[in-house]
Structure 1
C-alpha cells in the first residue's frame, strides 16, 4: 500500500520504474473498517510522448581556421512534447568518436563551433531534445576543412519540379550544406533533351527557384543545378527523373483554413479560401442557396491560388451558410463555410399563456431565431396593468423559456413583454396579448335526465345524469329542493352536498329541483330551470280515483232503482 490513508479522491504515485507494468487498487475506509478494493487495469510507467525526429537541412558556413557556423531547421515531429534544445556534435576525419560542440543545451537554430584544428576536416550532426530525451541525430554533413582559404561550394540540395505547362518547367532547390567558406553568388540551371548529349546552360539565378520557358511540348528534358561562389562552381545536382513538358490537369482542391468565421457586428470580415486547380477554375460563391451579390460592402477577390470574401461593417444580415464552388474542365468541388456575426440577439417569439388563475399567470415562449452568435444568458420578463403605461420587471434572470408570474390582483388585466439577453446586449422585446387574472372556470350546467326509478307510499328513489358542462372545475356535489303544488317556495331537502347521482326521498313531493355545484359556484335557476316530478300516488290522484269510484257507485244505485 502506497499510503495508509488518502483523504482526496485522486493521488499521484511517484518513484515508479520506467517501463515496468503496475496494477493499482483503492480501498475506502470508514470508522467501521475497510471496504472491498477496486483494482485498475495494468499500466506501463512511461512518458506519454516520444523523442523528437532529427532536425533537417544542417548547413555549414563562415569557415575559418578554427571555427565554423552551423545552422539547421526544426524537426518535423516534436514527439508530442515541446522541443527543449539541441545537441550539436562533431567528428574529426582522423578520429572515431563524436564529441559535443556545445557545453550547454542550445536553444537557437544556429551555433558557431570553435576550437577546431586548422587543416583538419570535420563532419557535423545535430539532435533535438524534449522531455522524453534526445532524439536521433541528423545525417552528418560532408567533411569540411577548417582553414582561412575558400573553396567551391557543395552542390545544391533537393532539386525538384514544382510546376510545368506545355512550354515551361518550374524548379526549386535548397542551399548547399557547405558554401566553401564564401557567399553563394548564384545558381546555374542546365538542361538537355532526352535525345541530346549536350547540356544547355541557362542564365544564372540568385533565388532558390526558377522557371525555364520556351520548351517543346511533349519533349522529355533532364535538368541539373550548380551552386557558384567566388572560388568556382559546385558539382551539378541532377533531378531524380526527367520531365515531360505538358500541361498539368487536376480537378480543383479546396484547402479550407476554417469552416466557421465569426466577427463582432460593425467589424470587417475576411474569408480566405486557398485552392489548387489546373486549369484555372471558375469561382462561384452562394449565400443560403442564392448567388452572392457583390455590393460596395461585400466584395469577392479571386487570384490563381485563392478566393477571398471581404465584408465591411458586418451586420447580422451577413449571417448564413456560404458555399464556394470551383469548376474547371476536369471536375467541380464545393465547400461550405458558416458565418456568425456576434451581436445582441433577436427577440423571442410565440408567447403562450399556459395557465391563468386569480393570483398567477404562467407563460412560455420560443427562443430567438437569431441568438447573436453566442449562448442566450437569460430572459428579462416585465408586466404592466393595462390601465397604465408603466412596465415593472418581474425577473431579469430567467434561465428557461417559461415563468410563473405570481402575486397578481384578481380581475385585473395584464400585459407581459419578454426580451432575450446575451453577452453583447438585450434584444428588442415581444409583447403578449392582454390577459385577465381570474379563475379559468364557471358554475356548472344543470344535471340531466332527472327521473324517478322507484316509488312507494312512503318514498321514492330519484336519479339524474351529470351536467353536460362542469364549468372547467369538477362537480363536487348536488343540492336537492322540493315544493308542494300549493306552494311557490322550494325547500332544501338535503342538509349536506349529495355526492352521488341519486337520492332517496322519504316523503311524497309534488316537484323537485336539483342543482350542481363546483369550486366556482352553484348552477343558476335561469340556466337550470326547475324540474317538476309528478308523483304516481299523489293526493290529487287519490282524490280523482275516489271521485271516480263514487260516481260509479252512484250510477249503479240509480240503475237499481229504475229497474
Structure 2
C-alpha cells in the first residue's frame, strides 16, 4: 500500500493484489479512513471494487488521515493493509526523488581508518522527510552522522571500520509518497598472511612452494601473492615473484651452494598483508661435481709455398730518373726474394736497392739509362716451392 498522489482535497492510493485469493475468489476492495485523533474507521466506498488504485475525494486541506485497505470475498474480509504514517492532505507540488550520484550506484569501497563524506541530493516539495536505515535497522548515530538540508542528505563517518560495511537504505517521504535508494558500502583492509607455506621439492637450481589462502581476506578479493627469497649469506629479502594468482609456484635460477629461506605475502585491493607466511624449512642448493674436458684445439697447418698476390707490371721511365718495381708475395716460411735482370741475378750492385716489408717486394733502379732496360724477374723461394713474376722496363733517352 502506497500513496501515489496528494492534492489539497484528495489522496490517491495504489496497492498490490493478495498473493492468495482463497477458494471463493475476490469480490473487491474496501478503503477506510480514520482522521488523526479519532479511533473510528469509516469506509469511503459503498461497494467493493476490483481496481488496485483508488482516489479518496472530498477531504479537507490540512487534514491528517490514516488509511487502510481490505480485500473482500464471500468468506469475509482480509487483514487490512495500513499506511504506517498518517497522510497530510495538501498539494504536493513536487514528488520526492533521490538523485543518487553515479559513483554511489555501485559498491562504494573505502579503507579502514579513512573518512566517508557522502552527499546525496534529493528533490520534493514540500520538504521531504529523510529516513536512513542499515539492514532495515536504525543507524547508530554515535558512529554515523547524518545531516539533512532542503536539497540533500550528508552521510559522514570520521573513521571507517569493517563493521560499517553493508547495505544502507535511504528513503525520502512526503505524505506517504516516497522514493527509495540503496547504498552499498564495503570497508576493506590488508589481508591476513597465507597459511601452511611449505617447500614441496628441491631439484637442480629450482624450488617448488605451496600454500593456502589467508583466513581473513580483508573484506576484499585476493588479487595475488608476492614470493620473496633470502639467502643465508646476506640475510636480505628479495622479491622473486609478484602477483602470483595461484597458491603454488616454482622459483628458479637459484645460486649453487647457497641456502635459501622463503616467505609469501597475500595482496588485495588494499595492499600487501602486514605479515608473511614463512616456510619452516630451508632450501640448500647443492654443488654439483663437474668434469672439465678442455676442447681439443685443431692444429692449423700454416705451411704454404710462395704465391704472388700482386704481379709486376711493365714500366716505361725516363733516363736519369729513379724508378721502382713493385709486387707482393705470400708464403710460409717467409720466402727468400731474388731479383734478376734478363735471367741474371742482381747481386750487390749499388745501382739497385731491393726491399721487402709485409710481403711487399720493391726494387729501386737508380738513375737508369737505356742499358738498364730489359726483362726483370722477381723470384720467391721457400722449402715448399718457388714462384716468379716478370715485367718489361723501357728507358727512354739517348744512349
So what's the TM-score if we normalise by structure 2? 0.35
Structure with greater Cα Rg: 2
Higher relative contact order at CA 8 Å, sep ≥6: structure 1 or structure 2?
Answer: 2
So what's the TM-score if we normalise by structure 1? 0.27
Identify, as 1 or 2, the structure richer in strand: 2
